[in-house]
Structure 1
Amino acid sequence: MYQECVRTYGDINFKGVLPHGYVFPKVLKVCALLSNLKVGIVVHRDVIILHLLICIHYSKCEDVRSAKQVFDEMVGRDLLSHNSMISGYVCNGLFGLALGLFDSMLDGCEPDIVTLNTIMDAYC
């Protein structure tokens, strides 16, 4: 029933329902069994977006510890994930942590205007 699994995931995704975290590994496994790279890429994108949404939600709720945990567990952190975490630090007055993350980000990620504007708030 691999095709049905992929179809159901697509239906859920199309309707704007946010899948539970346990769904992703199962769908990715099915994609691998079907050699369906196209759907696998979509699922991977959804995993990243879900992690970012959780990270932003925790930061806005002043639960930076949980946001950091989600960030640390992410595979392949990119500019968007770094910007989200830096913004969470700055919004919660944790300027030293924001600057530290910015410094470490520079090892593998090029900052953009959002990064620079956010990090400037840590200095002001």
Structure 2
Amino acid sequence: MKKKDYEPRFVDAEQYQGQSHIENLSFKEILLRHLKRITELASKEMRGGFWETKSQILASSMVAENRYYVADTREEYSNAVDCLADLLLPYFDKKMVVEEKENDKKLESEYKKCFAADEEQETQK
């Protein structure tokens, strides 16, 4: 092999394609894949997140407990829809931009209400 094959070189960030050049993903394909993901999330039962503990026997007298968080599928769905809106935002018309802003305000106020109730419960403890 030639020495120049091993020399480090700088790649223009604007021209870098990574592994995506293999698939040649278009914006339409990205949106369709994301819509498929949203559809998969919506077709499953939604539940709140929770912590789960699993015990693992390491030796005859040793037990290890692993604690992990099981994701809130409602939050996953909500975030996926929000991400789709963010992807499409540059393509929205004026009416849709106004609707998106109103929707964001409603979501923020509901979010604050939920956390205000949680904070009250925490202070009462």
Greater Rg by CA = 2
Determine which structure has the larger strand proportion and give its number: 2
- When normalised by structure 2's length, the TM-score is 0.32
Q: Give the number of the structure whose residues are more often helix, by fraction.
A: 1
